[in-house]
Structure 1
Amino acid sequence: MPIPNAADAPLLLTDADVLRRVTDLVGTAAVVRQLWVMFVDGDCRQTPVVMPISDLPEHPESGPLDSLAVVLAGLREELTTDLGPGSVILTLERRGPDAVLPADREWRRALTLTCERAEMGLRGLFLSTDAGVRRIA
């Protein structure tokens, strides 16, 4: 899904900028469980493509995570600029309480390892719930 006016969007220079962008684009949870992937180039500019991955299981599974690692590794060079390497912002969206649940911690570990395997920087890992958006890594 392309974001409107991506070229005009402010750079993501601080953690507060990233949290604001996730809040603006993902916001309060609307589905049972979904993962949002946002790409940021080495100039701190978000690319116009936001990739929602739906039908996530409650607990991480290796097959889909392996596929995500391949995608991330394949985009690493495209996101690199003269100023540095690119990164991703990941948001786990799920209905329910704002508390970080054991399954959320499993996803946090699994997604962090997926980024490490792909040698892709992780700009932030967020949780979107019925109460809004919060950083979980």
Structure 2
Amino acid sequence: MNPDALRDLALDDDDDLRDAVELLLHRANQRQLWLLFIDGRGRLGEPLMPMADYPSDPLEVVPIDDLGDVAQAQALAHRIGMLREITGNAAVVLVWERVGDARVGGEEDDVRLWARAMRRQASSLGVPLRAQFLLHAHGVRQLHADDWA
């Protein structure tokens, strides 16, 4: 698969989606979140958005003008849902980039905390979260329920 043909390929299963993420992003260079969209036909949608410097604590409560006092994860999930609607995409994929290995550690691991919080918030807000991945120093791996449980 090459990047040019990727836009025309339906990413029907998780392996295809993981391969697409790896083709696009390769390996981790820094701590950031990548936001990807999937269109109504299961193809990679627009835009592909990196977000560096996301907060360390997804549960930190912050004041947001139009939402009130909400957790960071709730604010992010709300904004992602708005972007998905505005762009006309069907689903969202989150890729947590960090330098290091593929292991998701203990309760203080920020990928674990964010993946858990975003799964809950996406479900609560009705944001169709297709999958979450960890982009690490050696490639990409999909995050599953036991990674954030």
TM-score by length of structure 2 reads: 0.74
Shift of 1:61: 4.3
Instruction: Give secondary structure in 2 for the equivalent of 1:48.
Output: coil
What corresponds to 1:65 in structure 2? Answer: 73
Which residue of structure 1 lines up, in the alignment, with residue 67 of structure 2? none
C-alpha change, 1:47 and 1:24, in structure 2 (3 Å) is same
1:72–1:115: 8 Å Cα contact kept in structure 2? Answer: no
Of the three residues 119, 123, 127, the one matched with 2:126 is 119
Unaligned runs of 5+ in 1: 80-85
Aligned to 2:41: 43
State whether structure 2 residue 33 is matched by structure 1 residue 25: no
| Greater RCO (Cα-Cα under 8 Å, separation 6 or more) | 1
- Contact in 2 for aligned 1:40/1:47 (Cα 8 Å): yes
Matched residue pairs, number?
127
Distance 1:59 1:24 in 2: 29
Is the 8 Å Cα contact of residues 69 and 117 (structure 1) preserved in structure 2? no
Structure-2 residue corresponding to 1:56: 54
The one-letter amino acid paired with 1:90 is: L
How many angstroms apart in 2 are the aligned matches of 1:8 and 1:73?
Answer: 22
2:143 counterpart residue number: 136
Scaled by the length of structure 1, the TM-score of the pair is 0.79
Question: Aligned residues: percent identity?
Answer: 31
Structure ID, larger Rg = 2
After superposition, the Cα gap between the structure-2 partners of 1:8 and 1:110, relative to the gap in structure 1 and judged at 3 Å, is closer
Does the aligned pair in 2 maintain the 1:29–1:128 contact within 8 Å? Answer: yes
